[in-house]
Structure 1
Amino acid sequence: MSKDKVYGYSFYMEKFECFYNDFKNEGYVSFLKDNYGEKMKMSLENANRILNNVFLFNRPWDMEPTSVPYKFENITWDYAPNGDEEWIFMLNRHEYLEDLVIAYYLTYDKKYIYKWIEIISDWINKNTPSSNEMAWRTIEVGIRCLSWTFDLIRILPLDILKEEEFEYILKSLCCQVRFIKDNIKDKDMLSNWGILQTTGVLTVVMAFYESIENKDLINWAEKVLVQQLELQVLEDGVHWEQSPMYHVEVLLSTLKMLYIAKTFNFTLNNTIKDKAYALANVLIYSTAPDHHQIMQSDSDYTDTRDIMCLSALVLNKGEFKEKSYARIDYSTFWFLGGRYIKIYDELISINSRELDKAFLDSGNYYLRSDWSEQASFAYFHNGTLGSGHGHADLLHYNISPFGENFIIDPGRYTYVEEDKLRTYFKSPKAHNCIIINDEDFTQCKGSWGYHSVAKSMNNYHKFKNDICYIEGVYMVENSKEYYIVTRKFIYIKPSLWIICDVVNKKGENYVSRYTHMDRDVKIESKGKGYIMSKNNINLQLIPLFASEVYIKNDYVSRKYNEIHNSKTLVYKNNFKDIGISVDVLYGSLQEENMKVKVKSIYQAGKSEPLTPTQGTALEIELPTGEKYVIIMIHQEIYIGKKLIIYNKEISFYGKILVLKHTNKGLIYVKLKF
């Protein structure tokens, strides 16, 4: 750090004066009270806990949140009261200290800033890389650098922090930045850790550039960040680790850093902003109608509108505002300041064009009936495993009729190695997947590893107006066995789904299929199927070709460290060489049931119908009066005539066909030839 006093305490007080004006304004406080009274209350509650050395990690994007507060007499920075080392990591990231800064601006009580100084000084005094390695993992260092910087630019103009205290803290920040540079590893180039490290470095260097001895740090960090983003963000914009939670963490740290660059007039490589836009764009589609991210892989049930708001303002893009709040959200206000209230109000919302989106590189598909909160929504996945945060979820799907989550991914719950629920939540049986002979297609190994993995094959999709089709395939090939599983997923808007699974495995086998329901979904057997209900919405499910069906008690974890009881529908059937399973699901606003019939189809010139393993035809009549015929051909017809005959008079050719009855006759929708 430079010893030149022109770049000391007084210099930065003046440099950050704009942030003081952005926050210390009675009009802004009134705006928050009118719009975010409950969130203000939560910030003050957390700040008051911290005054008493009580820690609870419950902010929206805390990576490993907790629900039980813990009190220290004297803070022990390497102690986990709940036995989970993630608690230590959360404690050392210092993101929660922002609530002390917020509490000051809401009350003008200096005790909150004094406590901030006390905790930071205590941490510096007690922690060195050699004395507490858990506080010096490079991911924690990067997050801490960003946290301290955002706090300091709001604290320094208050003239509460003493000059010697500031210099002591800035010296530690510079030390932490050097630590990241000296300890970055090859694996960090492909991990969210790396981006959280590098954005932390850039944030410190740009905010305190005048005091950084090695000015080349900014060039180094910028170059590394560009490489990391190019490696980690796929061409379709999805973060390769296949976890929406860490996708957002990468986006959030990048947005914060870009804001600092803009504020202090640094021009960075355009790739950084382009990748941030790509990450935010994915979030438009991967967010369910209730504004929450799906719990894919290691992810929680978290509202994404604050991230959309921050994306809209930092990237100046109206399409993100359209998926956020009408007014600037609470957390974005505290990141950017009060002047952005007007900027956000004046930003014009832009409606998204596509209802259905295929992210081909990652194998993620998002379908919806419209963009309202009452829209029906479906998600389908068949892609790369990602990293240790990925789950064994090939061919998994979610279904949400009329804005309510019914069939879901149940979450992550914990990272604790010894907890059996960690490996369960990662396993295929914890997803809406297909299991052959009770052997997981991907075998988990502890909290982060795998013994073996199935191979995702090429996907196919066709979206035609109100009818969508996705086909995913995976292969299991090892020393013990070889088989291929194909899932055919048809969505007819607004609320009809047909899911067909085809398993090719030699010999006598049995297949198990799992359907996981959200914690507040009720289910009962009715007729040949089941009725799921929630908030006056029903989802009828009719399983075809199942020899055994039962409901088992299960779990859902909407938030790390929290678990709830739920139900899972399991159905099995035996097969030799080729197995066929079909589900038909229909969502309704009343308890109105569809009718489903399995019909015969013929190869032209043949008197015997196709076997179920060759082809499936379904007649579906909805209570609305709509009638559909779904035809799925499972095997290639290469001997004899190629035409297929349905109902003795309708001939066609192709693999997937939907026929819709109308007043003007049948409408043919060919989804796959």
Structure 2
Amino acid sequence: MELLMEHANRALVQEFQFSMPWDMETTWVSHTFDNEIDWNFQLADDPEWTYMLSRHSFVLHLAQASKITNDPRYAQKALWYIRDFLTHAPHIIERESTSWRSLDAAMRVMNWIDALILLEIEADSFIREGISSHVEYLALQDSPFLLFSNWGIIGNAGLFKSALYIDDSERARLAENRVCESIQYQILPDGMHWEQSPLYHAEVLSALLSMIHASKRHNWTLDDRLIHGAKSMAQFMLGSMKPNRHQFLQSDSDNTDLRDVLTRASYLLNDSTLRVGCFPVLEPYLSFFESPDSRKAYEKQMIAQPSFLSFGGIASGNIYLRTGWSEEDSCCHFRCGPLGSGHGHADLLHIDLVAHGSDVLVDSGRFTYCETSERRTLKEAESHSTIIVDTHGSAQYGSTWKYTRYDMPGDRFLITKNDWNYAKGSSLGYLANSLKPVLVEREIIQLGRSICLIHDTFFAMSRHRYDWYFHYSPEGIVSDEQQGSIVFINRRVKSTMWYERGIEPRLMKTPYSPRYNLMDEKPTVRFSGVFTGNHSATFIIYSDKIDEEKSCTIEPLVVRGLRSQQIYHTHEARGWRICVENEEAFEVMIRSKETTELLQAGSL
């Protein structure tokens, strides 16, 4: 609430800063209009500031502040902004690239309607005509692009909500039908939005929830396809959630808390299985609209444990290996699917690792949508914890929204058993995009909360250079003082990565952007090696809490054929014994080559 009041108080004096958690393109630089507001104003060289201004989130903030304080200044200023925009920036074609893009117009009118409802003010004829002009404009927005883009669902959610507000059932039905058609193309079978951005996944889900909320208010019966789409997206959001309840920093996304969206979904969809990822009380948005009895009923609702821990988003290629639902648990995110839209990054075979609730390996973020060197760097493969062959990523950056060449994911799958999880994926891009083809496979085994084994296999006929990148959280320090291992330490955990001989590590600092317009740096390790023919490499990560640290030893095991007693080469089969102090040892064997006999390693 403190941040909400800060934004509302700025809006009182026409000062704008867009730094709320779900502001899609955040900025911490404020701008004040001393007199008349220029609704097409662009701050610095980023047009996203204009788009954020055009969405009028501050109108809703003012209405919420009015409810909190009962100070009439907030309500008066909220209405003043609506009238000022309609007076000085009505729709004309020239403004469709600035203050009247369909996405922003939809978000703006939804904020206006929410504000009017909160303020318990019936729109006068001038404001009602202004809302009607938005309905007319949004009803005309129909194209193949919108059918396949988050803009389409968000825009039609705005059309639906505003059409219901002015009693235009025909346009409301049009919007609902468009959204149902878009759902067929945009939401993958595993529930992920096809653009491969958790941020825009959340925005699309929020748009569907807004339609559900509006339908309940107006006693409108929604198409079951829309309800099912929202449920599917909410379940994916739960399955993809980090232990600290934030989203992973994937593609064009920010490090944002998911609990408010999941709380809204649990309440509106009446789904108690989502409660493990929710606030214990109704989140700030809904709490303003719902009755005290409804809020109390939600708080008393029993939490139903989800039917899964690890989550295999096979269609989207997002696999989450999870040890539990507490904030102290561990989770590994494995990217092994298509790149998605222009919001996607070249992150095939990337992994994020959270150990005992603490970030260890992270994505690099997005920072900007402007055509800059930072945009290119953050979208390329080198900014992800993945593998580069012969110094070039398989996907080739073209411009801020385009690639001139795409990577090609192979089959992927997840196996989950009691205290271990296994995931596998592959990149076919170096087969199709290279004169010296290489098939790259990555396997991940999670053993309890503390152990993560990464096994990479390269099938090749010639000599190649391989570079492995591992991007560590900026909240810790990384050292390579101990031969054969990399050590990461932050305030909570110590994480040691063992690597094999034949590859050389190099420690460096690389860009890290946890929020749009926010840049930091993080420790990164690049391993390099040159090999001829088939090859495999293994990295074993052991992480433990600082105050509960235990010793861990790794012993390679010889793999033999049980019948032939033939010793298999390391690129054919590998084995390890992993011993943690005062715990039962793990023995692991991975086979990369099909055999006609059983294999033996250690006691396996």
Q: Say whether the fold is shared (TM-score over 0.5).
A: yes
Q: Does 1:130 align with 2:93?
A: yes
Q: Which of 70, 74, 77 is 2:39 aligned to?
A: 77
2:542 is the alignment partner of 1:586:
yes
Q: Does 1:324 align with 2:285?
A: no
Alignment pair present for 1:554 and 2:516: no
- 1:453/1:131 CA distance change after superposition, 3 Å: closer
1:570 to 508, 526, 533: 526
Helix, strand or coil for the counterpart of 1:456? coil
Q: Report if the CA contact (8 A) 2:536-2:571 is conserved.
A: yes
1:420 to 367, 373, 377: 373
> Does 2:451 match 1:496?
yes
- Offset of residue 520 of structure 1: 0.5
Mapped contact 2:106–2:156 kept (Cα < 8 A): yes
Q: CA 1:644/1:351 → structure 2, altered by over 3 Å: closer, same or farther?
A: closer
Query: 1:129/1:506 Cα in 2 relative to 1: closer, same or farther (>3 Å)?
Result: farther
Matches for 1:85-124 after TM superposition, within 5 Å? 85-124=47-86
* CA offsets 1:545-579 (integer angstroms, 9 cap, x no match): 44211111012211111111210111111111223
**Unaligned runs of at least 5 residues, structure 1:** 1-38, 651-658, 660-673
Contact 1:504 1:579 in 2 (8 A): yes
Greater mean deviation of Cα atoms: 193-202 or 527-536: 527-536
Question: 1:607-622 alignment to 2 at 5 Å?
Answer: 609-622=567-580
Could you tell me how far apart the structure 2 residues matched to 1:292 and 1:314 are? 21
Rounded Cα–Cα distance in structure 1 between residues aligned with 2:343 and 2:317: 16
Q: Is the 8 A contact 1:333 1:340 kept in 2?
A: no
**Equivalent residues in 2 for 1:79-478, closer than 5 Å:** 79-127=41-89, 128-133=91-96, 134-157=98-121, 166-209=124-167, 212=168, 215-336=169-290, 338-417=292-371, 419-476=372-429, 477-478=432-433
Question: Which amino acid in the other structure matches residue 66 of structure 1?
Answer: T
The one-letter code of the counterpart of 1:307 is: V
Counterpart of 1:383 in 2: which secondary structure? coil
CA distance in 1, matches of 2:141, 2:595: 59
CA-CA distance at 1:59 after TM superposition: 1.5
Counterparts of 1:19-34 in structure 2, within 5 Å, are none
Shift of 1:474: 1.4
Structure 2 unmatched runs, 5+: none
Contact 1:59 1:96 in 2 (8 A): no
Q: Give the superposition deviation at 1:599.
A: 2.8
Q: Partner letter of residue 53 of structure 1?
A: Q
- The whole-number CA distance in structure 2 between the counterparts of 1:327 and 1:52 is 32
The question of whether the paired residues in 1 share the 8 Å contact of 2:3 and 2:20 is answered with no
**1:338 CA displacement:** 4.3
Stretch deviating more after TM superposition (544-553 or 403-412): 544-553
Distance 1:445 1:318, change over 3 A: same
Per the alignment, residue 7 of structure 2 pairs with: 46
Structure 1, residues 371-406: CA drift from partner, whole Å, max 9, x if none? 111111111121121111111111111111111111
Whether contact under 8 Å (1:545, 1:582) holds in the other structure is: no
> 1:179 Cα shift?
1.1
Alpha carbons 1:415, 1:447 under 8 Å: kept: yes
Indicate the RMSD between aligned Cα atoms, in angstroms. Answer: 1.8
CA contact (8 A) 2:436 2:462 kept: no
Q: Secondary structure at the match of 1:468?
A: strand
Counterpart amino acid of residue 588 in structure 1: D
User: Displacement of 1:508 after TM fit?
Assistant: 1.2
Partner deviation per Cα, 1:433-461 (whole Å, 9 max, x = no partner): 10001111111111110010111111132
Amino acid at match of 2:376: T
Alignment partners' CA distance in 1, 2:502 and 2:294: 57
3-state secondary structure, aligned to 2:509:
strand
Per-residue deviation at 1:605?
6.2
Q: How many residues align?
A: 596
Measured in 1, the distance between the counterparts of 2:329 and 2:101 equals 43
- Contact 1:129-1:135 at 8 Å conserved across structures: no
8 Å Cα contact 2:484/2:501 also seen in 1? no
Supply the AA of the counterpart residue of 2:131: L
The Cα shift of 1:339 comes to: 4.5
For 1:278 and 1:441, locate their aligned partners in 2 and report how far apart those are by CA, in whole Å: 32
Moved more, 335-344 or 244-253: 335-344
How far 1:185 sits from its partner (Å)? 1.2
Tell me, in whole angstroms, the C-alpha distance in 1 between the residues paired with 2:173 and 2:564.
Answer: 72
Q: Does 1:487 align with 2:442?
A: yes
Looking at structure 1, the residues matched to 600 and 21 of structure 2 have their Cα atoms a distance apart, in angstroms, of 56
Q: Which of 22, 27, 41 does residue 66 from structure 1 map onto?
A: 27
Task: Show CA shifts across 1:503-540 (max 9, x none).
Answer: 22331111001111111121122242122112231111
**2:274–2:306 contact (8 Å) kept in structure 1:** no
Deviations 1:573-620 (A, max 9, x none): 111122311100111124433111223222356676322222222222
Is the 1:409–1:516 Cα contact (8 Å) retained in structure 2? yes
Shift of 1:79: 2.0
Report the counterpart of residue 489 of structure 2 in structure 1.
Answer: 533
- Distance in structure 2 (CA, Å) of the matches to 1:324 and 1:47: 26
TM-score, scaled relative to structure 1: 0.86
Instruction: Report the alpha carbon displacement of residue 478 of structure 1 after superposing the two structures with TM.
Output: 2.8
Cα gap change, 1:578 to 1:218, in 2 (>3 Å): same
Distance 1:459 1:403 in 2: 26
Aligned residues of 1:475 and 1:482 also touching (Cα < 8 A): no
User: Structure 1 residues 347, 625: closer, same or farther in 2, change over 3 A?
Assistant: closer
Amino acid at match of 1:444: Y
Q: Percent identity?
A: 27
Q: 3-state SS of the aligned residue for 2:574?
A: strand
Flag the 1:625–1:342 CA change in 2: closer, same or farther, 3 A.
Answer: closer
- Conserved 8 A contact 1:198-1:221: yes
1:623 aligns with 2:577: no
Cα deviation for residue 420 of structure 1 reads: 0.9
SS of equivalent residue, structure 1 residue 267:
coil
Mapped partners of 1:561, 1:334: distance in 2: 30
**Amino acid aligned to 2:522:** S
**1:103 Cα deviation (Å)?**
1.6
Decide which structure has the larger Cα Rg and report it. Answer: 1
Partner Cα separation in structure 2 for residue 355 and residue 232 of structure 1: 25
The code of the aligned residue for 2:496 comes to Q
CA distance 1:322–1:225, change in 2 (3 Å):
same
SS at match of 2:533: strand
